[in-house]
């Protein structure tokens, strides 16, 4: 489900500026689609962000822009590290939001302020 309160783009990465989401009819979301070459087009989407009313995804469907998260990970020992992505997947729990490869050198970053 599309969240119009968060940043929006098309499935293929084009910028979209939402103008309204309450137009009457089957395509109530109206916005300006900006192509990679800078051209702008007025477009409309279904309440779910679909460009077409068909069952198949379109490159012009609306999607939320993935949010970037930045944080620091404390590493104390290597006892709980998985040796492969497959092992990490096998030992994951249902609320996992990412599985990333982390590389570091012993002592790295310890000389900086905490």
Q: How many CB atoms lie within 10 A of CB 51?
A: 20
Query: What pLDDT was estimated at residue 78?
Result: 63
> Considering the entire predicted model, what is its pTM?
0.64
Domain boundaries, the chain: 8-64
DSSP helix, strand, coil percent of the chain (3-state; round to 5): 5, 20, 75
- Per-residue pLDDT of 9-66, as tens digits, reads 999 999 999 999 999 999 999 999 999 899 999 999 999 999 987 778 999 999 999 8
């Amino acid at each position: 489900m599309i969240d119009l309160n968060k940043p929006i783009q098309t499935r293929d990465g084009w910028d979209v500026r939402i103008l309204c989401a309450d137009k009457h009819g089957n395509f109530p979301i109206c916005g300006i689609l900006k192509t990679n070459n800078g051209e702008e087009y007025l477009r409309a989407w279904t309440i779910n962000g679909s460009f077409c009313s068909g069952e198949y995804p379109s490159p012009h469907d609306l999607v939320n822009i993935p949010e970037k998260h930045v944080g620091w990970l404390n590493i104390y020992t290597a006892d709980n590290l998985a040796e492969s992505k497959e092992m990490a997947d096998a030992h994951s729990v249902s609320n996992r939001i990412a599985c990333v490869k982390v590389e570091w050198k012993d002592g790295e970053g310890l000389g900086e302020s905490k």
